[in-house]
Amino acid sequence: MTGSRRWVTSFAVVLMSLGAFGDDQNVPTGTDIVGSFPWITDGLGNHQSKVEQAYAAGRVIERLRDFFADESRTRIWNHGAGKRKHPRLPVDLDSLPPGVGPFGLFVAFEPADIDLYRALLPPNFDMPSAPAVSIVAIDYNQPNPVRRYKEGMVMLKALASNGTETWYVHSMPVEDWLMLAMGHDWGFRKELFDMVVSKDHAAVHRRDGGLFYSLELIEERYNEATAIVPDGGAGGINNMAVVYPPNPAIAMIHGVEGAVRAIEKDRSMVRIRVGDDVDWAPLVPASGEAPGYFQRFVYDRANGFILKI
C-alpha cells in the first residue's frame, strides 16, 4: 500500500472513531422525521394562486360528492369541514378596514307573469304563499384577490318539500370558470358572463356583448313597509335552493347559519333592464322598477350548510 493510501485509510478510521459515519451523526434524537415535516394536509386555506384554489376546489367537490351519494346523511357543514367547535366572536363593524366585505345590488318584486313563474319552478318545489323574484349582482370582495370573483343570482321564492320557504336559483351568472365548474357539480345553473358591479350600477353581459340584465340605483325612495325584501338581509343568497343534476329527485338548500351584518346600506328604487331573449324577462314589472338596495356586508359567526330536502 502506498503512503498516500495508508494516510487516507488512517484518516477514515479516525473519523469513524469520532462518529462521523456512525449512529452519532448530528440528528436530533426523538425527532419524528415524518410527522415534523410541513405537509399540506388540507389545502383549503388562504390560497396564494389559482392552482392552489383549484386544488382546494377539487377537495371540496370530492367531499360533497361523498355527501350526495350517502343516503344516510342529510346535512353537511362548511363544505365537509364540520361545524365550528368554537363560535367566532361577533364582528366589530367599527374595527373593519375601509372597503372590506362583499357588496352588490339587490332587488325583489312580485312576478308580472305568474304562469311563467310557475313553469320555471322544478317539480321539487311548490308555489309559495307570496311569489317573489329576487335579482342580485354581487362582488365577493375578498381580502385575498385570488379568491375574489363576481356572481349574480335570479331567484324565485319557492316552497320546499319539508315546508321551508327558500329561493330557487333559476340563473347564476359568473365570471370565473372554476366557480362555474364547482357550481355545476352541485346544481347551480351557472353560465359565463362579463360582469360589472359598483355601488350604484351592475351589468351582466353575454360574452358576445348581449345584455343579460342590469341593475341601477335611482334617486327615488320607497315605502319600506310595502317593499319585498328577502329574509336574512342578503337578498336570499343565504337561503338558496337547487336541484342535484345527477339525481334530480334530490333538492338542496344552501344556507348560512349566522347573522348578516350590513357595513353599508343604501335603500333606493332599482331600475331593471333585461335582454329580450332572456326566458325570465316577462317576470319583471312593466315599469321596470322595484324597491332594492346597495349593501356591503359580512356574515357574523356564520356556519354554512347544505341540507338535502
Q: Is the pTM of this model over 0.85?
A: no
Instruction: Report whether 291 contacts 227 (CB < 8 A).
Output: yes
- Confidence at 101, pLDDT banded by 50, 70, 90: confident
Instruction: Report whether 64 contacts 80 (CB < 8 A).
Output: yes
Instruction: Report whether 239 contacts 232 (CB < 8 A).
Output: yes
**DSSP-assigned letter for residue 94:** G
Find the mean pLDDT for residues 254-278.
91
Instruction: Report whether 235 contacts 134 (CB < 8 A).
Output: yes
pLDDT in tens, 43-100: 556 777 888 888 888 888 899 999 999 999 999 998 888 887 765 656 777 777 778 8
What is the model's pLDDT at position 43? 56
Across-strand partners of 183? Answer: none
Report helix angle 50-69 to 177-186, nearest 10. 0
What is the model's pLDDT at position 13? 41
Which amino acid, one-letter code, is at 302?
Answer: A
What is the model's pLDDT at position 86? 63
Q: Where are the alpha helices (DSSP H) in 101-256?
A: 114-120, 177-186
Q: Which domains does the chain have, with CATH numbers?
A: 50-308 (2.40.400.10)
Across-strand partners of 217? Answer: 270
Q: Where are the alpha helices (DSSP H) in 190-251?
A: none
Which burial class, exposed, middle or buried, applies to 286 when counting CB atoms under 10 A from its CB (0-12, 13-18, 19+)?
exposed
What percent of the chain stands above pLDDT 70? 85
Q: Which of 32-41, 175-184, 205-214, 215-224 has the highest average model confidence (pLDDT)?
A: 205-214
